[in-house]
Amino acid sequence: MIFSAPLVYSLLMVVVASILLLLEGKWKFVCTFFFVYLTAGFFFDFVKNLDIGTSGTIILASLFLMYRIMPACAVLYYVITTTKVNEFLACMSRMHVSNKVTIPLIVMIRFFPTVYDESRAIGNAMRMRGIRLFSLRTLKSPVAFLEYRLVPLLVSVTKIGDELSIAAVTRGLSAETKRTCVATIGFRWVDAVVIAYCVAVVLFYVIPGLTGNLPSV
Amino acid sequence: MRTTGKKSSNTLVRDLVNVGIFGALYLVLSGLGASIGFIPAFIVVSTCIVSLVTSVPLFLFFSKVERPLLCCVLLCMLFGIVMTVSGHGISFGLLCVIYGVLAGLCLKLFHKNFVGCLLANVMISFVPSSMMIPLWSSTEEYLAYCSSICDKAYIAHLAELSSSYWPLIGLFGFGAAGAVVGGFIARRMMKKHFERIGLAQ
Cα distances (Å, whole numbers) of residue B80 to B6, B46, B77, B93: 30, 19, 5, 4
- Interface check B54 vs A, CB under 8 A: no
User: Structural domain of residue B128, as residue ranges?
Assistant: 40-194
Please identify among residues 150-179 of chain A the ones whose CB lies closer than 8 Å to any CB of chain B.
Answer: 150-151, 153-155, 157-162, 164-165, 168-169, 173-176
Mean pLDDT of B68-77: 93
Which residues in chain B are contacts of A56 at CB distance < 8 A?
Answer: 151
Which of the two residues, B104 and A147, has the higher pLDDT score?
B104
| A161 occurs within a structural domain | yes
Please count the structural domains in chain A: 2
Structural domains in chain B (count): 1
* Residue B201 belongs to some domain of the structure: no
pLDDT of residue B19 exceeding 50: yes
Chain B residues near residue A92 by CB distance under 8 angstroms: none
Which pLDDT belongs to residue B6?
62
Q: How far apart are CA B70 and CA B80, in angstroms?
A: 15
Q: Are residues A118 and A62 in the same domain?
A: no
One-letter amino acid for residue A144 of the chain: A
Residues 6 or more apart whose CB falls under 8 angstroms from that of B112 comprise: B62, B63, B68
Residue A198 lies in a domain: no
B28 touches chain A (CB under 8 A): yes
**Closest partner residue to A2 among B56, B87, B185, by Cβ?**
B87
Q: How far apart are CA A101 and CA A123, in angstroms?
A: 32
Same domain, A164 and A100: yes
Claim to verify: residue A80 and residue A10 sit in the same structural domain = yes
Residue B69 near chain A (CB below 8 Å): no
Instruction: Note whether A63 and A142 are same-domain residues.
Output: no
Q: Is residue A71 part of a domain?
A: yes
Contacts of B86 in chain A (CB under 8 A): 69, 72
Positions of chain A with pLDDT under 70 = 1-6, 48-56, 208-217
Query: Chain A window 101-120: which residues touch B at a Cβ cutoff of 8 Å?
Result: 101, 103-108, 110-112, 115
Q: Is residue A192 in a domain?
A: no
Long-range contacts of A148-154 (CB under 8 A, 24+ apart): A149/A119, A149/A122, A149/A123, A150/B53, A150/B56, A150/B57, A151/B56, A151/B189, A151/B193, A152/A122, A152/A125, A153/A115, A153/A118, A153/A119, A153/A122, A153/B25, A154/B25, A154/B56, A154/B57, A154/B60, A154/B194
> In this structure, are A67 and A141 located in the same domain?
no
Greater model confidence, A216 or B188: B188
**Does the ipTM surpass 0.85?**
no
Q: Is residue A203 part of a domain?
A: no
Nearest to B85 among A51, A72, A169 (CB): A72
Q: Helix H segments across A24-171?
A: 27-50, 54-64, 70-82, 85-94, 99-128, 136-140, 142-170
A68 within domain boundaries:
yes
Structural domain span for residue A25: 1-84+209-217
B182 has pLDDT over 90: yes
Name the band, by pLDDT with cuts 50, 70 and 90, for residue B98.
very high
Q: Which residues neighbour B59 within 8 Å (Cβ) at sequence distance 6 or greater? A: B117, B121, B183, B186, B187, B189, B190
| A197 domain-assigned | no
Residue A105 lies in a domain: yes
Give the best residue of B11, B15, B17 to mutate against chain A (max A CB count within 10 A). Answer: B17
**pLDDT value for A217:** 40
pLDDT at residue B76 greater than cutoff 90: yes
- Those of residues 84-123 in B touching chain A at CB distance below 8 A are 85-91
Provide the terminal-to-terminal Cα distance of chain B, rounded to the nearest Å: 21
Give the distance from residue A184's alpha carbon to the nearest chain B alpha carbon, in angstroms.
25
User: pLDDT tier at B18 (50, 70, 90 boundaries)?
Assistant: very high
B chain contacts of residue A133, beta-carbon cutoff 8 Å? none
* B196 CB within 8 Å of a chain A CB: no
Q: Is B194 on the interface with A (CB under 8 A)?
A: yes
Residue B71: pLDDT band by 50, 70, 90 thresholds?
Answer: very high
Which of B74, B86, B199 lies at the smallest CB-CB distance from A69?
B86
- pLDDT tens digits for range B133-181: 888 887 877 787 777 666 677 777 788 888 888 888 888 999 999 999 9
- A62 and A21 belong to one structural domain: yes
